[in-house]
Structure 1
Amino acid sequence: ESIGLQNFKIAKDFIIEVINRLSKDERFERGDSRVGVVQYSHGNTQELVAMGDVNITNIRDLKEAVKKLNWIAGGTYTGEALQFTKEKLLARFASDKRVAIVITDGRSDTLRDLTPLSSLCEINTQVVSLGIGDIFRAPPNSEQLGVIACEGTSYRPGLSVQRDNYAELNFLYAVNFTGPADITLLVDSSTSVGSQNFELTKKFVKRQVERFLTAHMPSEDSVRVSVVQYSGKNQQILEARFLQNYTVIAKAIDDMEFLNDATDVNAALRYVTNLYRQSSRTGANKRVLILSDGNSQGITRNDIEKAVQAAQREGITIYVLAIGSQVHESNLQALVTGKTKEQNVAYEANHLFRMPDYKSLLQVIWIC
């Protein structure tokens, strides 16, 4: 009941959007990936719609079933619902690669519902608890959200995300531009990435390009996208130069071949800076997203700072997506800020993003 009817509708729209995004990279057919949705409220009110149901033969049927779910209202028995999900939904899945997204205000009635909130942790499931403030403007319960996401347990920890209200769900995937923008995605193609991870990166880059080109913009020619892959000192390849046609860019990304050599992010950044000098539009916002772990052979932090500062003088704003656990923190900070000593935590938080591994690029609800 604390969710409210309107918020319930927003949540359903969000779930359908998640399914749409998953559908771009996953096959939802018998023997392939599976997906299902459980709605719950108080005791024994759970409703399940999933691939494999008699009346659900494809992903379109599932989305229609989600749309038809009616708001239950009532109390909040999250533990019971998670146990139901484990037994009635996840038990159907033959794969041991399971991800569960739990949308809740994080305030389960634990006095009446004694079922553990950590129920999904016991079956090797990566749990994302998405806690959202309710209609009474009460914030989500971070402690319960942490338990749901398996924090502080011997099981694989998940991810706990909090939002103030359901309206923010509309913006989890939103990219808006208030003026013209020239965006470049700088893709690491060095040996340390590995050929399999490089293929995952290509899928991720295609997804980001699509987001940029379909974002709300003030005019049709507002956003252009370039894609550059890099490895060693003289190994930068311009795959797409400030284009607006997604089909053309996607084809170029698909055709990218793994370079499999050293890593020189400085040379790559200098290459991109020169690209903007030659081809960027006057008055356009210049943005670069670098995929990097911060490691670069024979290069010091001072070298990185100089390259970043040269880019900044051209009006380029740099964002970094660091992937993996073996990252060079000092170099990452230099890539984002271009500064020697000063540290702006808020700025770094908005320009440096982290992922635990390459597979997570496609599994997580990527809030970028």
Structure 2
Amino acid sequence: LPQQPFTAQLLLHSVACLLYTVNLCPHTDKTDCPINVYFVIDTSESIALQTMPIQSLVDHMKEFIPRFISKLEDEAYQNQVSITWQLGGLHFSDVVEIFSPITSSRDTYINKLKGISYIGRGTFTDCAISNMTEQILSQAARGVNYAVVITDGHVTGSPCGGIKLQAERAQVNGIKLFAVAPSQKIHEQGLREIANLPHELYRNNYATTKKDAIEVDDETIDKIIQVMKHEAYGECYKMSCLEITGPLGPKGFRGQKVRADNTGSFLYQYAVGITGMYGVIILSLFNIRACADSDRISFFSKGPNGSNGAPGSPGIKGSKGTLGSAGPKGEPVSPEYLSSSEKTSLPMAFPFLIAFLLPSDCEKRCGALDIVFIIDSSESIGFTNFSLEKNFVINVVSRLGSIAKDPKSETGARVGVVQYSHEGTFEAIQLNDERIDSLSSFKEAVKRLEWIAGGTWTPSALQFAYNKLIKESRREKARVFAVVVTDGRHDPRDSDTNLQALCTGDVIVNAIGIGDMFNKQEEDETLHSIACDNKQRVQKMKLFSELVAEEFIDNMEDVLCPDPQIVCPDLPCQTELAVAQCTQRPVDVVFFLDGSERIGKQNFQIAHSFVENVAEKLTLAKRDNENMNARIALLQYGSENEQVVAFPLTYNMTEITDALAQIKYLDSSSNLGSAIIYASNNIVLNSRDRQRAARRNAELSFVFITDGITGNKNLDEAIDSMKKQNVMPTVVALGSDVDMDVLLKIGLGDRAAIFQEKNYASLYQPSFFDRFIRWIC
């Protein structure tokens, strides 16, 4: 048969291949398979300050890599590929430092590795991966490329496009990335974004240290090296046993002759059609209903009847009753004419009644105070805790009465703030800043401070605060306080000698230390040094959230203003006491009332009653152009095109009451973005002549009463509009089912501006109502 020679040839070749595979066939030429390994080491603050002494974790990584390198052997892997190794490396924080180009000299590489020192600032992992990719592509002429990224997965910024983007770019260029944790304190999602798929090969809980131990994890090293060699073998070695040329096939039959009259037509080439839609699956199951949309199909069977619901929330406040008849005239009496026994028999509520009857536009004065807050803005603090620090500053200052308008005034409080991270990043709100002339302007300045997210140079920050704020701008007759908030850790490169920089002169220093690390003796000493060795001036906490607790704010108020003076104006006798809220500055408040079906009619009525209570509590302006006091407006909103202005910005209480009595619940869907844009165009601006209706010198405040569950259309545009108009947002979020992402968006990222209560009945609670009024004013 004609195929016998080929069959015999194939059989002989297969036998030869088998002998070759089991090393019975002599083989001298092995495929070269160079492997390039690039180490990317995180030396940011979140790594350097994780352990004591500082930098010990970085030193441990510098032990892990030589151990890793010692296990890299040039070898004939599987007796078929010749593996050799080359090494490169960089370390990073918010900057990248390349400590070694790609080299085959292990001694040179390890010497350069030993010379690195931690940078100790923010974490830009995406830029480190980008630099690694550029180094490998420019230096590694050929071979299989791997990167071992040693990091905790946390980042403080993504100026190079983000971890995911740069990891994918590296993978597209043939670089395989392993993610290795330096400790147990990690952000696993960040590590998984770095590592190649499958994660069972490239992540697999790799760590430089064994769990609950300080020894190098040899198992991690062995697993990674095994994966490297196996994957490299697959790329370098190409099976050639079956790559033989077969015999030519038989000659084909002669084609059929074409008829002369059968001329061909033009050939048109068409584009490939789009993929057809998936078919509809018809489900027919007994006693089961199915809900389906384009993304998912979910099944549910009819459940049992639910239990009776809980009692409803309290009803809305009733209308005012008729005036009662006059009582008999009492005998004139004063406590000073009572005997001691009669005085002690006064009702317990009597002091409260006296306080209640005091004119509410009395002003608290603390004398001349210069207060400097020094707050930690380093990476180890974290964004959320930094926000809590800012809220703490605002809440404390709000308790100290009015801010002196003139920086040279001999009375009133002046407040400065220093936020610090590593050297050269300190930022300050100066004590003598003429733009800070009210509590409102101070709040805005504090809210504008942005988390630096670098290293921690506490001693230098204290020296900076003394030199640039206290020494240069303190008032001659003012008492000077400094309040230092820190987690206690600082970079050892910053000299401890400056920890007592504020102890010069007559500055009263209060140190607030936060975190479990203060149970350690050395951290106690740090705090005591900051507080000028006065243990009474040291406060310790475990959580940053304790900073904004009401009890602690009360305590700080007593520390900074121990003997306040209450000054009340001379008022003529009047039948009703004037309520003096927001009297020192103009405030225009726009309420946004969610009229969606989720809210429900009863809750809607409670909400608009709350708006009426606020209007009664605030001191309303006497005319539209008055440069103090409040005006309010109310917008009810539903779907994208449903917005109803119940009343525009007004000071007329009768107009407000009449409008609220006539308001009708929309019972619609919700689109808050469109409502904000509508309010900007029809309340903040006059819809008739497009002139500004809000007072130019007034604080413009938007108050959102919503759960945040709304359509996203126009929301980003609406947020930009709020920022351009310098809106101060306040969010009243009611219930447990809320969309916190949307609430944070409309609150412009300020968690302190979000009042979250368990239900609408909470709007009646005096504790909530008082906090809300204090915040608005």
| TM-score with structure 1 setting the length | 0.50
User: Are positions 1:192 and 2:581 aligned together?
Assistant: no
Structure 2 Cα separation of the partners of residues 47 and 222 of structure 1: 38
Cα displacement string for residues 100-137 of structure 1 (whole angstroms, at most 9, x for unaligned residues):
xxxxxxxxxxxxxxxxxxxxxxxxxxxxxxxxxxxxx9
Match of 2:630 in 1: 223
Q: How has the CA–CA distance of structure 1 residues 259 and 169 changed in structure 2, closer, same or farther, with 3 Å as cutoff?
A: farther
User: Are positions 1:295 and 2:717 aligned together?
Assistant: no
Q: How has the CA–CA distance of structure 1 residues 68 and 348 changed in structure 2, closer, same or farther, with 3 Å as cutoff?
A: closer
Structure 2 Cα separation of the partners of residues 26 and 168 of structure 1: 39
Structure 2 Cα separation of the partners of residues 230 and 190 of structure 1: 8
Amino acid at match of 2:757: M
Q: RCO (CA 8 Å, sep 6+): is it higher in 1 or 2?
A: 1
Q: How has the CA–CA distance of structure 1 residues 168 and 248 changed in structure 2, closer, same or farther, with 3 Å as cutoff?
A: farther
Which one of 696, 703, 710 corresponds to residue 282 of structure 1?
696
Instruction: Trace 1:186-335 onto structure 2 (pairs within 5 A).
Output: 186-214=592-620, 222-274=629-681, 275-278=683-686, 279-297=693-711, 299=712, 303-335=714-746
Structure 2 Cα separation of the partners of residues 28 and 47 of structure 1: 30
Cα displacement string for residues 268-287 of structure 1 (whole angstroms, at most 9, x for unaligned residues):
11111112132223333211
Kept in 1: contact 2:620–2:630 (CA 8 A): no
**Could you say what secondary structure the match of 1:287 adopts?**
strand
- Residue 364 of structure 1, CA deviation: 4.2
User: Are positions 1:348 and 2:751 aligned together?
Assistant: yes
Kept in 1: contact 2:585–2:628 (CA 8 A): no
Amino acid at match of 1:263: S
Tell me how many residue pairs correspond in the alignment: 220
Q: How has the CA–CA distance of structure 1 residues 64 and 348 changed in structure 2, closer, same or farther, with 3 Å as cutoff?
A: same
Kept in 2: contact 1:176–1:215 (CA 8 A): no
- Residue 263 of structure 1, CA deviation: 0.7
Structure 1 Cα separation of the partners of residues 566 and 665 of structure 2: 36
Cα displacement string for residues 207-242 of structure 1 (whole angstroms, at most 9, x for unaligned residues):
112223359999576422111111111111111111
- Residue 354 of structure 1, CA deviation: 1.2
Cα displacement string for residues 163-200 of structure 1 (whole angstroms, at most 9, x for unaligned residues):
23587999xx9742543332211111111110111111
For structure 2, the residue ranges without an aligned partner over 5 or more in a row are 1-315, 322-343, 356-535, 542-548, 559-563, 568-578, 687-692, 773-777
Kept in 1: contact 2:588–2:701 (CA 8 A): yes
Which one of 760, 763, 766 corresponds to residue 361 of structure 1?
763
Cα displacement string for residues 304-327 of structure 1 (whole angstroms, at most 9, x for unaligned residues):
233111122123222111111100
Kept in 2: contact 1:176–1:216 (CA 8 A): no
Amino acid at match of 1:223: A
Kept in 2: contact 1:213–1:244 (CA 8 A): no
Kept in 1: contact 2:581–2:629 (CA 8 A): no
Structure 1 Cα separation of the partners of residues 647 and 737 of structure 2: 30
Kept in 2: contact 1:232–1:262 (CA 8 A): yes
Deviates more, 1:197-206 or 1:275-284: 275-284
**Could you say what secondary structure the match of 2:702 adopts?**
strand
**Could you say what secondary structure the match of 1:234 adopts?**
coil
Structure 2 Cα separation of the partners of residues 214 and 335 of structure 1: 26
Kept in 2: contact 1:305–1:335 (CA 8 A): no
**Could you say what secondary structure the match of 1:263 adopts?**
coil
Kept in 2: contact 1:175–1:216 (CA 8 A): no
- Residue 26 of structure 1, CA deviation: 7.0
For structure 1, the residue ranges without an aligned partner over 5 or more in a row are 1-23, 30-44, 50-62, 70-136, 143-159, 338-342
Amino acid at match of 1:202: H
Structure 1 Cα separation of the partners of residues 728 and 645 of structure 2: 19
Q: How has the CA–CA distance of structure 1 residues 26 and 238 changed in structure 2, closer, same or farther, with 3 Å as cutoff?
A: closer
Cα displacement string for residues 289-339 of structure 1 (whole angstroms, at most 9, x for unaligned residues):
111111113x26xx52331111221232221111111000111111111xx
Structure 2 Cα separation of the partners of residues 236 and 168 of structure 1: 47
- Residue 47 of structure 1, CA deviation: 8.5
Instruction: Trace 1:126-141 onto structure 2 (pairs within 5 A).
Output: none
Cα displacement string for residues 243-274 of structure 1 (whole angstroms, at most 9, x for unaligned residues):
10112202211221111010111111111111
Match of 1:77 in 2: none
Structure 1 Cα separation of the partners of residues 754 and 741 of structure 2: 12
Structure 1 Cα separation of the partners of residues 742 and 655 of structure 2: 34
Match of 1:74 in 2: none
Structure 2 Cα separation of the partners of residues 47 and 325 of structure 1: 44
Deviates more, 1:208-217 or 1:252-261: 208-217
Kept in 1: contact 2:620–2:631 (CA 8 A): no
Structure 2 Cα separation of the partners of residues 28 and 283 of structure 1: 36
**Could you say what secondary structure the match of 1:200 adopts?**
helix
**Could you say what secondary structure the match of 1:241 adopts?**
strand
Match of 2:97 in 1: none
Kept in 2: contact 1:263–1:295 (CA 8 A): yes
| TM-score with structure 2 setting the length | 0.25
Kept in 2: contact 1:270–1:307 (CA 8 A): yes
Kept in 1: contact 2:580–2:619 (CA 8 A): no
Amino acid at match of 2:658: K
Amino acid at match of 1:210: E
Kept in 2: contact 1:288–1:318 (CA 8 A): yes
Please say which structure displays the higher CA radius of gyration.
Answer: 2
Structure 2 Cα separation of the partners of residues 198 and 230 of structure 1: 12
Structure 2 Cα separation of the partners of residues 220 and 46 of structure 1: 48
Q: How has the CA–CA distance of structure 1 residues 215 and 352 changed in structure 2, closer, same or farther, with 3 Å as cutoff?
A: farther
Structure 2 Cα separation of the partners of residues 168 and 186 of structure 1: 38
Amino acid at match of 1:194: G
Match of 1:336 in 2: 747
Amino acid at match of 2:719: V
Structure 2 Cα separation of the partners of residues 197 and 242 of structure 1: 24
